[in-house]
Amino acid sequence: MHKLFRLAWRNVWRNKRRSLITIAAIAFAVLIVTVTRSLQYGTYDTMESMAVRLYNGEIQVHRTGFQEEQTLTYSMNQDEQAWQEIIDKYREFTGVSRRVTGFGLISSDSASAGALIVGIEPEQEGTNTQFTHMVRKGEKLQTGDDHKVLVGQTLAQNLQVGIGDTIVVLTQGFQNQMGADTYIIKGLLSAGNSDVDRGIMVMPLHNSQDLFSLYDGVTQVIYATNDFRQAEQRARRLATEFNNDRLEILTWEEMMPELRQIIVMDNVSGAIYLVFLLIVVGFEIFNTTMMSVIERTREFGLLESMGMKPGQITSLVLLESTMKILSAIVAGLVISAIAIAYFIYNPIALSQTLQDAYASYGFTFDSLVFAARAQVFIEPLLSITIISFIALLFPIYKTRKLSPIEALRKA
């Protein structure tokens, strides 16, 4: 086996020009696949993180039926469960906040418009989501604020109001009780999403409870964790802790299935492109190996006539190809790691057009985002290794079926 290895290495080195072409082609394919997947996963991670942190949160607890109806009928007592004890008991939970969500008519001296009204605990909400931090004008809500609100920037424009102006809110509260009150605009929100900016108003939790006649009631409790990708596991833990059939615990994936569908569809389209690239690589390996077998027909015939067994010749060709493939994959992964590290620390800036396009969907991107997770390197390693050895099957088969007499006659 040692002699066979030395012979294989000598043959690879003797045909170094062809070997380098094969190695370069495979290494380039590894580079393209790795960098492309790194960009895809980096973009997905950022989009998911932004979407989770924007409004819905990672895990939401509410009364069963609220997700479908979105009405105050499904409210619950704000102290129905020991919400804070979960944070103290489990390190993976990093924050909790309570909300009241309802709808109302908002009026100014000039116009009126319907909007989603969200009552929050300012400091707690800030640890779970980002929408209350997206204040473009004015100031954020703080604990202790009373009858002060944040209004979507587009909603404020439609109402023709600004910072410091007073608005009137009319609602139908719990058990059909009417609610009406006046509030002062403290800040204008801009989440980058036209639907959000056009139809949201945020106020302190106690004000929303009074407005909707809920008093000690809330509609949702939001939990944040140390890893939003483990939300399903964390949700199961909450279900075990609360052990209440009247409560529904949803993860961000369940609340935003359309985001998951978009990412899956984009991921599939990217995978199809990469499959075509792998097929091209496979044909390159097949062509190179097959040409090598054809050109060395006389050599193989002489080796067999000198006593080398067909299995040894097959092993020789397989060993030569394996050396080139492994060398190419290692080189490609090393170059890819360097390239990804460079892009992570030196991001490629996006044009203003692309930034605006992402902003229209509520995502804030100013540069391309690359990921360095293990999956980025494992996928090309496995896929290119598999396609490479599949491409060797027929050339190896032809080598094994080679007859010494026919080989010398053809040569």
CA distances from residue 26 to 88, 317, 328, 333 in whole angstroms, order as listed? 52, 18, 6, 11
pLDDT per residue as tens digits for the range 32-83: 889 988 988 888 888 777 777 778 889 999 999 898 888 888 999 988 888 9
Tokens representing residue 273 in the block:
């492109």
| Residue ranges per structural domain of the chain | 2-52+259-410, 65-244
Which pLDDT value is given to residue 101? 93
Backbone angles phi, psi at 296, to 5 degrees: -105, 20
Give the DSSP letter string of 95-160: EEEEEEEEEEEEE-SS-EEEEEEEEE-HHHHHHH-SGGG-EEEE----TT--SEEEEEHHHHHHHT
What angle in degrees, to the nearest 10, is found between the helix axes of 257-295 and 297-305? Answer: 60
In this structure, of 50-54, 101-105, 183-187, the range with the lowest mean pLDDT score is 50-54
Using a cut of 0.85, tell me whether the model's pTM lies above it.
Answer: no
Residue 2 scores a pLDDT above 70: no
In this structure, of 23-27, 306-310, 375-379, the range with the lowest mean pLDDT score is 306-310
pLDDT per residue as tens digits for the range 115-154: 999 999 988 888 888 888 888 889 999 988 999 999 999 9
CA distances from residue 188 to 15, 59, 202, 332 in whole angstroms, order as listed? 69, 27, 10, 50
